[in-house]
Structure 1
Amino acid sequence: MNSSLIRRACAAAVVLATTMAPAVAAQSDDTAVRSDTAARSAAGAQARLLGEKIVPRKLSFRNTTVGGLSGIDRNPCTGEYVLISDDRSVLQPARFYTAAIKVDGAGVHSVDFTGTHPFLQPDGSVYPPASAGDGKVVDPEEVRVDPRSCRYWWAQEGDRPNSASSPVIQPSIQFANRSGAYRGELPLPANYRVSMEDRGPRRNKAIEAITFGDTDRVLTSAVEGPLLQDGPEPDLERGALIRVTQQSRKGSVLGQFAYPLEKIFTAPDPSSPWPPDTGVPSILAFPEDPSRYLVLERTWVAGAGYKIRVYDATTRGATQVRNMDSLAGQKVVPMRKKLVADFHDLGLSTVDNTEGMTWGPTLPGGERTLLLVSDDNFADDGVTQVVALGIRG
């Protein structure tokens, strides 16, 4: 996320844990498969570190600067990975990369970039930088490969301006072919729209997370932080509720739920002018369970650095909130979640601004691989880090 470009600090301490609150897991008696799925969901996922690989800082690739990698997904058609850069066309036009990542039970062996393309506007032109002043600013944050067509769906946060004289840029989820050409846009829920009347997503807290689920029929998205009408952001005393939305491929809202974001883990350095920054930059569906997701929470605190946690979360038993104008003061049963991994306890070389995650190949013993990537913000002290976890359950 570019907002933290000048707010860097040392990496935060984080912990891997398995003692978590129970999830709602309504078992089905229909088939043994459904019963097994529910049982695994109730037990929760467990993670172990397979390995990591650091990409050279400000790597030059085909006349672009590799960095700002805030989303990753595996292409089932090619076995390669697609990674989205959150460069707002400042260094080069807003773009994505493809890469061959060799990962197995022994670790991450190599990350080799194989291609890059800019995302194109409907008229076929690249996105201009904000300095162009034409109201076409784009903030790419997440990319998913359509399991049916292997085209790309990508989310961008838009912009809630700091002043009334600047244009509002609405967030969007767009479709592109594998060369970046525009192919359409998904209609978003009304409460995802930026309104200058103190409603909708906060600045830099709109859509950063999308995932396909329910046998690829459903596109689930999450806003990074609480909507303005849903209450304040997390602080040292309390967390906050963000919205997770399930939509059909044509945009019909199938469900919307509240996800409980953790409170800030420690007090910031009092000499820093920068407040803590926390949110959900990525969400990933479990292929066999339409109600179950991995949710990535990323927090930065001045003087303490980053805290990165992955949760196993379910919509089972959660309140439908799509018709609730505001969550503030409402009695809401949020999604239940269990901690899967807290990065500092994994033995990594560093803990940085991790923002993207995807399923990788399944290992011979049935263990899934989970690949995560960090956004270096194009900063001199930032890191582009690819981490692989083994996931059971």
Structure 2
Amino acid sequence: MRTSLIRRACVVALVLATAVPPAVAAGRGDTMDTTARPGIGAQARLLGEKIVPHKLPFRNTTVGGLSGIDRDPCTGEYVMVSDDRSALQPARFYTARIDVDGTGVRSLDFTGTHPFLQPDGSLYPPAGAGDGKVVDPEELRVDPWGCRYWWAQEGDRPNSSNAPLIQPTIQLATRTGRYRGQLPLPRAYESTREEQGLRRNKAVEAITFGDGGRTLTSVVEGPLFQDGPEPDLDHGALVRLTRQHRDGGVLGQFAYPLEKIFAESDPTSPWGPDTGVPAVLAFPGDPGRYLVLERTWVAGSGFKIRIYDTTTRGATEVQNMDSLAGQKVVPMRKKLVVDFHDLDLSTVDNTEGMTWGPTLPNGERTLLLVSDDNFAADEVTQIVALGIR
């Protein structure tokens, strides 16, 4: 999602609790009791950060727009997807060596880049081509079975009736970007011309493998039209998390409770607040447990980045509900792991990607996050490393 394009234009836990939360009317987050019991859930500490030089040139490309990151178990390197919609260079991903330990991010060195290819082997055209083949890459995960790449793109619900409607996809690619297939998406993930289904720029931006690679979970960034309004100062919202078998069969769908907006917008700004889920990460060996990244931007207040420990245990199965609005559902429980404003960071920016890193000698798992600078001079590409316990 391009939250910071807005910024530019205007100057711009686990809940392992066994108690099941009461059912609530969906769509209005102020009534939801989704917190975990005190003291339960993951905890985080800052290890360090690294800022990538703005518009770093690398192998005839411009590094930036990094909206997803994953660790490759076959090489120990990291793979990062750029959300450049072929505007600067063809839609692409990067590989990099990132040295992180208990004292911080020691180094970051890019090692390769490849474009994503269409099924016919051609490059994706730039945004505005008007042929319905444009992609908006947002997330990439390395398949634990063979280390090929699964990547998600949001598609496009255009503002104009003359522009093509582009559906979101989760595609399988080789390690050099060649197309190898596509995951069937749940019916609810379909975009329509009417106000049904996915909102614009609020589609499939978060995916993760779980159960040793047997399942793939996705989260819709914002609420579907039929599931209720987007969050505001008084209310949160529900977004759908779907767990699928790697062949596409839906194993379960649940309602994740998105936080309400944290501050009032600058009244002089023409842009309203923007919030959503840009990344999700499964806990190894613990089906149904996830870290969820929530990213919010408010004019005049900037970004708020929060990570939650959450679980599907005890939550209502919603895949057969055409609409969540007004329904009595038990949402996923969640517990705050960290708010980036509580960390000693040089800046809190447009963080969109999240992956597990190596385990430290003290038993902590490292968590690496990357921010999407949207190729803007007033934003940064920031790698943040956390220790999770």
Which category describes the TM-score, using the shorter chain as reference length?
over 0.9
- What amino acid does structure 2 have at the position aligned with 1:79? G
SS at match of 1:43: coil
**How many angstroms apart in 2 are the aligned matches of 1:193 and 1:74?**
29
Q: Compute the displacement of 1:134 (Å).
A: 1.2
1:390 is aligned to 387
SS at match of 1:131: coil
Deviation readout 1:269-315 (Å, 9 max, x if unpaired): 00000010000000000001011000000000000000000000000
Q: Compute the displacement of 1:4 (Å).
A: 2.7
- What amino acid does structure 2 have at the position aligned with 1:102? D
For structure 1, which segment, 130-139 or 330-339, has the greater mean C-alpha deviation from structure 2 after superposition? 130-139
2:195 is aligned to 198
1:93 maps onto 2:90 in alignment: yes
Aligned length: 372
- What amino acid does structure 2 have at the position aligned with 1:387? V
1:155 maps onto 2:152 in alignment: yes
SS at match of 1:191: helix
1:252 is aligned to 249
Q: Compute the displacement of 1:131 (Å).
A: 2.6
**How many angstroms apart in 1 are the aligned matches of 2:8 and 2:117?**
31
Q: Compute the displacement of 1:347 (Å).
A: 0.3
Q: Is the 8 A contact 1:155 1:209 kept in 2?
A: yes
The unaligned stretches of length 5 or more in structure 2 are 20-35
**How many angstroms apart in 1 are the aligned matches of 2:14 and 2:77?**
36
- What amino acid does structure 2 have at the position aligned with 1:74? R
SS at match of 1:4: helix
Which stretches of structure 1, 4 residues or more, deviate above 4 A after TM superposition? 20-23, 39-42
Q: Is the 8 A contact 1:93 1:118 kept in 2?
A: yes
Q: How does 1:12-31 map to 2 (within 5 A)?
A: 23-25=16-18
Change in Cα spacing, 1:332 to 1:387, as seen in structure 2 (3 Å) is: same
Q: Is the 8 A contact 1:9 1:305 kept in 2?
A: no
Of 168, 172, 176, 2:173 maps to: 176
2:314 is aligned to 317
1:7 maps onto 2:4 in alignment: no
**How many angstroms apart in 2 are the aligned matches of 1:124 and 1:74?**
26
1:134 maps onto 2:127 in alignment: no
Q: Is the 8 A contact 1:41 1:292 kept in 2?
A: no
Percentage of matched positions with identical amino acids: 78
SS at match of 2:362: coil
Change in Cα spacing, 1:21 to 1:52, as seen in structure 2 (3 Å) is: closer
- What amino acid does structure 2 have at the position aligned with 1:24? A
For structure 1, which segment, 123-132 or 306-315, has the greater mean C-alpha deviation from structure 2 after superposition? 123-132
Deviation readout 1:360-387 (Å, 9 max, x if unpaired): 0000111100000000011011100000
1:105 is aligned to 102
Q: Is the 8 A contact 1:23 1:338 kept in 2?
A: no
SS at match of 1:215: helix
Of 332, 336, 341, 2:338 maps to: 341
1:361 is aligned to 358
TM-score of the superposed pair, with normalisation by structure 2 = 0.93
**How many angstroms apart in 2 are the aligned matches of 1:360 and 1:129?**
33
1:77 maps onto 2:74 in alignment: yes
Q: Compute the displacement of 1:9 (Å).
A: 9.9
Q: Compute the displacement of 1:23 (Å).
A: 4.5
**How many angstroms apart in 1 are the aligned matches of 2:197 and 2:60?**
37
**How many angstroms apart in 2 are the aligned matches of 1:21 and 1:296?**
13
1:293 maps onto 2:290 in alignment: yes
1:48 maps onto 2:45 in alignment: yes
Q: Compute the displacement of 1:21 (Å).
A: 9.7
Q: Compute the displacement of 1:212 (Å).
A: 0.3
The unaligned stretches of length 5 or more in structure 1 are 11-19, 27-38
2:22 is aligned to none
Of 287, 300, 303, 1:303 maps to: 300
SS at match of 2:342: helix
Of 113, 116, 133, 1:116 maps to: 113
Q: Is the 8 A contact 2:15 2:37 kept in 1?
A: no
- What amino acid does structure 1 have at the position aligned with 2:340? F
**How many angstroms apart in 1 are the aligned matches of 2:114 and 2:14?**
43
**How many angstroms apart in 2 are the aligned matches of 1:67 and 1:364?**
32
**How many angstroms apart in 2 are the aligned matches of 1:332 and 1:171?**
26
SS at match of 2:100: strand
Q: Compute the displacement of 1:42 (Å).
A: 8.2
Q: Is the 8 A contact 1:9 1:303 kept in 2?
A: no
**How many angstroms apart in 1 are the aligned matches of 2:210 and 2:228?**
29
Q: Compute the displacement of 1:3 (Å).
A: 4.6
